[in-house]
Amino acid sequence: MHDVAVMNPATNLDPLVAVIGVGGVGSHCAHALLRAGVRRLRVVDFDRVSLSSLNRHAVATRCDVGIPKVVACAEHFRAIQPSCEVDARDEMLTAEAAERLLLEGSSSGQPELVVDCIDDVNTKVDLLAFCVARGLRVVSALGSGAKDDPTKICVARGLRDIENDPLATKLRKIFGTRALDSESISFVYCSQKVQKSLLPLSDEQRANPEEFGNVANFRLRVIPVLGTQPAAAGIAIAAQVLNELGLTGERFWPQPTPPPKRALVEKLLESFKKSELMRVGGRVAQVDITPAEASFVVHEVWLGRSALNPEIDAFAATGIRFTLTRWDPSLPIAASNLILVTAQEAESHSGPDEVPVEARQRIDEALRWAGERLAAPLRLAASDHPVSSRAANVMAETLPCSNQERDEQTSVGGSGYDADDPEEKALIAEQLSRSSSFVGDEGHQRVRSSFVVVVGLGAVGSAAAILLARAGIGRLRLVDGCLVREGAGHAVAKLADAGRFKVDVCKEAIRQVLPCVEVEAVPKHFAIDREEDEKALWSPDNNGRVPDMVLDCVGSLSTKADLLRSADSRRLRVVSVVTGPSGCPADPSRVVIAPLAEVWASPAAVSLRLALNSSLGVEAGAEETSFGAVDVVHSQEPSLWAKTTITGGFADVPHRLQLGVTAAAAALLRLTSGKVPQQADPCGMNFWKKLRGSLEKQVSGCQLPDLYAIGCVADHVWRGRSALSGFAGFKHSDLAMARWDASRPPELSNLVLMTAAEAKEHAAEVAATGSLPQDVHEGGEESCNSDSSLQAKRLATNKALLRLREQLQAQHIGRAGATREVRECSIRVPRRRLAAEQPKSEQSAGEFGGATSSRSSRPGFAGLVADTKLVELRCLSKGTGCRIWGKAEFLSPGGCQKDRVARQILDEAEAAGMLKPGATIVEGTSGSTGISLCLAAAARGYNVHIVMPDDQAKEKVQLLQRFGATVQLVRPASISSPEHYVNVARKHALELNEQSPDGGAALFADQFENPANFNAHYRGTGPELWQQCGNCLDAFVMSAGTGGTLAGVGRFLKEKSSDCKVVLADVQGSALYGKVALGVLYAPEQQERTVRRHRMDTISEGIGNDRLTANFSLGLRDHNGGLPGIDAAVRISDQEALDMAHHLLAHEGLFLGSSAAVNCAAAVKVARQLPPGSVVATILCDHGQRHLTKFYDPAAWESYGLTAPVRHEASDLSFVR
């Protein structure tokens, strides 16, 4: 019930973890695992990064929109830790594909643990059923949308006890129907009730749901999501994975359910005490149970359910009275001998022998576990942990540096950002749509107009800052004077960032995510005694705005105290993060938010509060600090009171990331609603009040620690028992708090819990010595007769107080560090790793295969490809004043430039030994590439199987069939869908090869991702065009489908002349224009709530795209390592293309297809921006004969909202706007 198998770390220091689904939750999980030192990851997902997903993703930026999520994760992870092994699998997990995706096809082997971050119910069940059947350990994520409280994270074994989670409810039903056992699965969930409803569907969506969304049978309605919640869930899963793999150095036990209310526990404890009093006939009985232990027994041992009948829930049952009772009446009262039962069960319970064997074994095991937990409640250091040395190296976070003279720079937005650009506004609206739907329009406006200062940009502060940016915060001021040492201990830094200021690294990361966020980087250490630091921290921005809130993420408590005093003097709201010792336990279910006045489980926060109260002279016994506007984020782990440091390391990074996420959530909730989740009242509150009262009587006139601080010492240091006798007391008045050393004031490290009689005797004894008890003052351990002697207990008590004093002093001092040299790092990882070797720019045109000699040396189809004519389009030249040329690729044997690609793909495949005689070439295409492949394959004896959308011109299908291809038509679909024609083709090729024992039965041509596409144009088309233009060209204009022609020709031309402009011509509905012009692969037709599954955005065929292909990426500097590429983009409407096609037919006698018409219209737009006489070239890539039934069909014009072309004079190009 409570035990989880723990791997021996010595058996596998590099476990393979498979993360299925790398959206919001999964990406944060994988990212936290990597930062914590897990070097081998397998990530599986079929979806692309979308603009609206950036508000919750861990690493994706605007630059990644349109590429597979697994590819984005792999690229970022390798930049963070180049030595990591990331097996990225871009495919949807299904029941049929589970074994192949999880267990096969990689040298990495079988994963030690599987992480399920799938949000589709049926797919999730398929995965979990597979893991259970194969004995794979699995941690599963439940719903994170529509919730906003990261402090309600719980980890449960099985589904039975999970509440307030709609996904868990559905899973319970399906698991019951399929007879699946969930008890071996760890589920991470949020126990908060759902805060928001699914967004409503439009009338059209309700009427035709199958026409919307990216994937069939997936949820269509959109869930509002605040990005901090998936982040909290993902990091919690990572911590649990490390926990279950034994990589935390010390095991932690997360809360399986929300803690019970204080009143319920106190009522159960009082009932138990009364029943024990009746058992002994009214005599005084020692009930050795503290309120904290009673809460542990009820909540974590029995999960609020009857031990004898777990189906009865004490938290939910009505009309049923519960109580605690002894499991074995013959044994003493102890937490390890207590069971939670109904009152009726308690009356009939006479001992374990009367309980059925199966239930007895279950209860004995649970009580054994409880006894082990309570035997050593304060966590010890993990000594000689086998992964400690590596963890310390991986997670080394920063080196402080001295303040350097540097002008403070304020950057507003990113490169080329225009706040007034309507297109940029549309991008921002879509990117923040999930967040704005959660907080509402008014809350969203408050976030967008807020000004937040973040002080301290380590793991905690950087995690908070980037999530605030992803939520759309208006302005951030980042303050920190440290340099990054290792990217692994940070939320955004990569290895190449070593030696840079942390504020600069964070500012750059924020720009890449959301350029409209105004970011000011202040690379200084904060010191309140320096006037310039105060000014840098609180000064208004350029528009006169003053900060609305401060996120305090500094490590030193002395600096933290100064910062809070300064903020309080300006009446600023503060969210302050108080961390534990380095390497502290990473239990995500213990992170809480509390007002500073009520923090009771964090020694650092208690020390901070006492220091602030002392500096302000708060009266003795005051319950509230004056800092009422401070929310403290901290861990409620009792073990934090045990040691000054905890080694082992692996638990540290997820814990600190989780604190940063929680701080960002608290800030957003304060900015939008004014409310933040509060920690539950401690169960011993009344007990604490009695203790403080007893202390006031003993030391009247002295300033005392506050109520919560006294409670911390009583519950966490002395465990609610007398330090000398271990007595818990029958009632609160039996125990008292006393000074240990009479010569010192009643501070925390001088308070000891004793019985009232012991306190009285102790006070008399220390009065005689004036300080410590006599035997402590004079004796030593060697003089103790036994461990149970009074002297031994006093010496142990004194050691505990000395240890506590050291820790509290360390918390006041903070983490001091001297300036040290930062290791330089020369490793640079390019944004995209491409399989193709980059061609050398110094090769001559003849070496690229573009010379006439290539035609004479190759017979048949291959000999006719290339060396197409270059013709001037005189009507366009006359109308623009520039010379516009078109390379007549439609004269190739296959009718377009795809002939070059088909030849190159087969050449490279044959050279690599990927094809055997009679093999089948499989391709997903809109038609043109398929036709070229048919001809190229026929000349070499191969078969062809073509998958294409069913909305293409009929003559293309007819030609393919006449050329001998098998044609499979599918509905148009998003590339994320398995139904997309490319995905269907890939699957078919895989199936053919699986049927062949030695492989080589099929080749998936993969024109979109295969670098042979780029190579064909870089080595052939580009050199030919340059030579035909007389080595002089001012602009090259081209549309893109795969992007191979534009990228290949463009690269060659830019290498020959850097002044030559390479311009994309894009059609309506395509996202490529957004990628080039705005840096984001997005078009309005892709809006998440309105995107259609079967889109018909343009009448043009074969061009335009809504994903980023490998070939197109080779033309983008952000993705090709900074090499020359595409300079600009223009949009062409369907009407402009249709008018251009008829204009060229009328005045040039050229009957061209839709792609060529788009290219020519774009050439006109580009020529208008160039000086007269400039030379512009494009590609006449297709003939009109393939477009008769669509592009040239008046009936089709009407369905696309087009009007019949009007004849213009040759030089009249007014139809191109």
Residues forming the active site? 898
For 488, residues 6+ apart whose C-beta sits below 8 A from its C-beta are 34, 35, 37, 80, 81, 394, 395, 396, 653
Least Cα distance to 1155 among 1020, 1038, 1025 occurs for 1038
Contact in structure between 75 and 831 (CB atoms under 8 Å):
yes
- What are phi and psi for residue 115, nearest 5 degrees? -110, 120
| E-only strand ranges, 275-332 | 322-326
Element (H, E) at 1011: helix 1011-1016
User: 340 has which bridge partners?
Assistant: 324
Contact status, residue 322 vs residue 343, Cβ threshold 8 Å: yes
Distance CA 571, CA 476 (A): 19
Q: Which residue has the tokens 């994170």?
A: 144
User: What's the Cα-to-Cα distance from 746 to each of 453, 654, 743, rounded to whole Å?
Assistant: 37, 37, 10
Q: Long-range contacts of range 411-420, CB-CB < 8 Å, 24 or more positions apart?
A: 411/507, 411/511, 411/518, 411/519, 411/520, 411/521, 412/518, 412/519, 413/511, 413/515, 413/516, 413/517, 413/518, 414/511, 414/512, 414/515, 414/1079, 415/511, 415/515, 416/1079, 417/515, 417/516, 419/516
* Terminal CA-CA length for the chain: 71
The span from the CA of 244 to the CA of 3, in Å, is 10
CA distance 524 to 545: 21
CA distance 110 to 614: 58
Pairing of strands 573-577, 591-595: unpaired
3-state SS record for 313-326? ECCCCCCCCEEEEE
User: Mapping DSSP to helix (H, G, I), strand (E, B) and coil, where does residue 116 land?
Assistant: strand
User: In this structure, what DSSP letter does residue 850 have?
Assistant: -
The bridge status of strand 475-479 relative to strand 451-455 is parallel
CA separation for the pair 966, 608 (Å, rounded): 75
Query: How many C-beta neighbours within 10 Å does residue 1112 have?
Result: 29
Q: Where are the alpha helices (DSSP H) in 825-974?
A: 853-857, 860-864, 874-880, 898-911, 928-938, 954-962
* DSSP assigned state of 52: G
- The answer to whether residues 655 and 584 touch, using CB atoms and an 8 Å cutoff, is yes
Q: Which two tokens stand for residue 246?
A: 């034994």
Which residues lie below 8 Å from residue 1194, measured CB to CB, with a gap of 6+? 1204
d(CA 268, CA 340): 9
Q: What are phi and psi of 777, to 5 degrees?
A: -65, -35
Query: Residue 171 burial (CB < 10 Å; 0-12/13-18/19+)?
Result: buried
CA distance 887 to 176: 65
Q: What is the CA radius of gyration of the chain?
A: 35
Q: Is 814 left (phi over 0), alpha (psi -120 to 50) or beta?
A: left
User: Is-contact 1085 1095, C-beta < 8 A?
Assistant: yes
